[in-house]
Amino acid sequence: MIRRRRVIFMSLAVAFATFLYTCGNNNFIYFESLQRNKQCACSFCTSNEDDDPWFTQRYKQFIEPLLTRSNSALSKEVYSWWQSLQFASHRANYTAVIEKLFKIFPDNPQVMDTEPDLCRTCAVVGNSGNLLGSHYGKLIDIHDFVFRMNKGPTKGFETDVGTKTTHRVIYPESAVDVDNSTHLVLAPFKTLDLQWLISAFTTKDIKRTYKNVRTTIQANKNKVMVLHPAFMKYVYESWLQKHGRYPSTGFLVLVLALHVCDEVNVFGFGADKNGNWHHYFEKVRNNAGAQEHGRNFENEITVQLLTKMKIQIFRGW
């Protein structure tokens, strides 16, 4: 009985939040936002002309998040930082790999361009166990773009995490199949990761990086995108001030969203209500990954972004 009341209460609360959220982005707000010289028509825009110094110090407006044929040459600094991230037993010829890559995948991918009369909303959905029991599914699904990451499934968790996935950010060791409408976005930590992507769609002969990886992946090859190594270095240096070894997938996606969305809402980040750091789709509760990613610092920056009203965080129940 108490459990039933709790579920009804949570459903009503989320329905009410969804209602408020939808109202917040409708047309009368649009006029108000134009009056305030905003860069977009949402009630809060991630980037505005009157941004505060903390944000502008970190946010490089013109960085290109995605690798394209024309921006693929890497500076010496970017290349050596990128190569130092992960041990790879063989060093491939980066230029030759890029040539192959853009023979198979779109060579000028775009996420979207921002315009003053549009409000493009994004949900960044991490894999935290705090999503369990949240009833956020419907709220997540009403966003224009839903970014998910790594192995986080929707099947079996629809009520809490939703069903829509417009972009899934992965690396070879965390790859899963995606449906035909989803953009598979590779976060490459080494040249071998680019080779793996090529192989997964062609010869299927790369079976191992530093561990066994999937040899093939189901995804629409016309929707494949790759994060730019210079963007990853920018996230590490400008946002994380070199804390940890490299940014977590979640933090990379969060900064990606700051660059390509007008409004960013964050779900499934952080510990659950008992202080456990685990995945909503796994029973194991551990602390893996804390060191590589400087988790505490990532948390601090995420909270600062909330304080500066650049993002909203939905923490689960």
Binding residues for substrate: 86, 127, 150, 210, 246, 250, 270, 279, 293
Residue number, nearest CB to ligand C5P = 250
How far is Cα 287 from Cα 196, in angstroms, rounded to an integer?
28
**Other CB atoms closer than 10 Å to residue 47's CB: what's the count?**
18
Site size toward ligand C5P, by CB under 6 A: 15
Residue 246 appears among annotated catalytic residues = yes
Judged by CB under 6 A, the residue of 172, 270, 294, 316 near ligand C5P is 270
Instruction: Work out whether 279 is an interface residue with ligand C5P (CB under 6 A).
Output: yes
Task: Say which of 246, 259, 278, 280 is annotated catalytic.
Answer: 246
Tell me which amino acid residue 152 is: G
Going across the sheet that includes 183-186, the strands are 225-226, 183-186, 167-170, 145-149, 121-125, 263-267, 311-314
Residue 280 appears among annotated catalytic residues = no
Instruction: Work out whether 278 is an interface residue with ligand C5P (CB under 6 A).
Output: yes
Residue 292 vs residues 128, 196, 218, 231, 297: alpha-carbon distances, Å = 17, 22, 29, 18, 11
Do 148 and 168 touch, CB atoms closer than 8 A? yes
Instruction: Work out whether 248 is an interface residue with ligand C5P (CB under 6 A).
Output: yes
Report the site for ligand C5P in 126-185 (rule: CB under 6 A). 126-129, 149-150
Q: Which is nearer to ligand C5P, 72 or 150 (CB)?
A: 150
Q: What is the SS3 assignment for 119?
A: coil
Instruction: Work out whether 269 is an interface residue with ligand C5P (CB under 6 A).
Output: yes
Q: Which stretch binds ligand C5P (CB under 6 A): 83-91, 120-128, 176-184, 303-311?
A: 120-128
Task: Say which of 143, 259, 278, 293 is annotated catalytic.
Answer: 293
Instruction: Work out whether 277 is an interface residue with ligand C5P (CB under 6 A).
Output: yes
State the Cα angle at 261 between 255 and 262, rounded to 5°. 120
How far is Cα 204 from Cα 214, in angstroms, rounded to an integer?
9
Enzyme catalytic residues: 246, 293
Interaction site with ligand C5P (CB under 6 A): 126-129, 149-150, 248-251, 269-270, 277-279
